[in-house]
Amino acid sequence: MQLLTGQTLSFSADPFAVPHPEACTLRRRGAVLVREGRIAAVGEADTLRAAHPQAKVISYGDDLICAGFIDAHVHYPQTAIIASWGLRLIDWLNTYTFPEEARFADPAHAARIAARYLDLTAAHGTTTMASFCTIHPGSVDALFAEAQARGQCVVAGKTCMDRNAPDDLRDSAQSAYDDSKALLTRWHGTDRLHYAITPRFTPTSTPDQLEALGALWAENPACLMQTHLSEQTDEIAWVRDLHPEARDYLDTYEAHGLLGARGLYGHAIHLEEREIDRLREVGAALIHCPTSNTFIGSGLFRTAALKTRGLGVGLATDTGGGSSFSMLRTMAAAYEIGQLLGTPLHAAQLLWLATQGSARALHLDHEIGNLAPGLAADLVVLDLASSPAIAQRQAEAEDLWEALFPTIMMGDDRAVRATWINGRPTP
């Protein structure tokens, strides 16, 4: 049993729905009691120290302890091509993504990249992610096996594509169903692992494949389903050409059973009114990928407006279309996009998106995403003075929010004092 002391931050409500002082509990001299991989208690350090004198005390001084970051939309196979010179989405896929994903036919390569990816993200304070893999079942096995060895909570699925992709990256409607079902049966619910049915996006799946994956989801409604939606205007035009019968982009999923409460729709920048209404009605989640949206020139996601409309929103790096593994950098980009739209986000809202918001999107908020008794001890400890530039600004702060905001805007892996996964600090 360990007692981690420092400043602590937990959420009791959504700071988009209520003022942040009502949504957050901040303790200047707080503590988190960790027992057998879970959070046993959160409170004042002196109180918990007195109540549990046998606990090993790990002091983090004035560092901030909060829930580990949750990255709700990534492509771990794109780790090696992150920050490749920018092109529009379709060109970027053809030039960088597809050649790299073809290498995952080799299980050894998949295993190397899976380990590298989880090392890199843990160094940045990320404890859970939802990842697209490749069409190769071995790419899913590699990530899940590595996560399982680390005791990590991970969502992943085999990416399915049967058109408009290189021949060596195409499956079929039947093989997509069969492979996904086999992987789901093998991994979903094993330890802390969760399967997501994963059509890449409408342009790379025929109606038959979308129908097959919709059927698989109907057979396994407890699973998540992840895909892309309305990322770029030329993508939307392509979908319109491919599906002139559809009312809009979302309709290409809805018509094949791929719209539901456990659906994760990445990007969702250029939505029409009907799409917003339907996504809200079914309780689906939108995943905001701000560094990717700016890096590839996709557009500006309207976080505040969509939250006001009642949409669930998670936050994501979109590795490797996103240009950073860091959820701090991702929060900073979300703030900057909010400014461009005239709706700047408070530090509490940014941190909520990277923890509770993403946990809710993944339907895992009963397990992760907050400092609360009973949840998994997936934690990040942030040094709020990790560089000279940050330290000099933090020294002038009048409250914790002012002290934290410079780390959100300028922090990197140096700001991550420690990452705890399943009650254990990472190496």
Residue 279 and residue 413 share a domain: no
* pTM of the complete model beyond 0.95: yes
Q: How confident is the model at residue 86 (pLDDT cuts 50, 70, 90)?
A: low
134-160 per-position pLDDT tens digit: 999 999 999 999 999 999 999 999 999
Q: What's the Cα-to-Cα distance from 69 to each of 235, 239, 349, 416, rounded to whole Å?
A: 30, 33, 13, 11
Provide the 8-state DSSP code for 376: B
Mean pLDDT for the chain overall: 96
CA distances, 26 to each of 6, 10, 64, 425 (Å): 11, 7, 10, 23
Same domain, 141 and 208: yes
pLDDT single digits (tens) 253-271:
999 999 999 999 999 999 9
Average pLDDT over residues 113-120: 98
pLDDT digits (tens, 9 = 90+) for 30-82: 999 999 999 999 999 999 999 999 999 999 999 999 999 999 999 999 999 88
Predicted local confidence at residue 322, as pLDDT: 83
The count of structural domains within the chain is 2
- If asked whether residues 124 and 209 sit together in one domain, one would say yes
Q: Does the pLDDT at position 85 exceed 80?
A: no
Do 10 and 20 share a domain, yes or no?
yes
What distance in Å separates the CA atoms of residue 32 and residue 43, rounded to the nearest whole number?
A: 7
| Secondary structure E strands in 45-145 | 56-67, 69-75, 126-132
pLDDT surpassing 70 at residue 330: yes
For residue 100, give its domain range: 69-361
Same structural domain, 78 and 209: yes
CA–CA separation, 104 and 64 (whole Å): 38
Question: Does 90 have pLDDT greater than 80?
Answer: no
Report d(CA 266, CA 161) in Å as an integer.
Answer: 17
Helix (H) or strand (E) holding 9: strand 2-11
Clarify whether residues 234 and 355 are in a common domain: yes
Check whether residue 98 and residue 200 sit in a common domain. Answer: yes
Q: Same domain for 321 and 419?
A: no
pLDDT at position 91 is 77
* Pair 79, 60 in one domain: no
Q: Is the pLDDT of residue 320 over 90?
A: no
Q: In 160-257, where does DSSP find H-type helix? A: 173-187, 207-219, 233-242, 249-254
State residue 380's pLDDT score: 98
Residues 316 and 418 in one domain: no
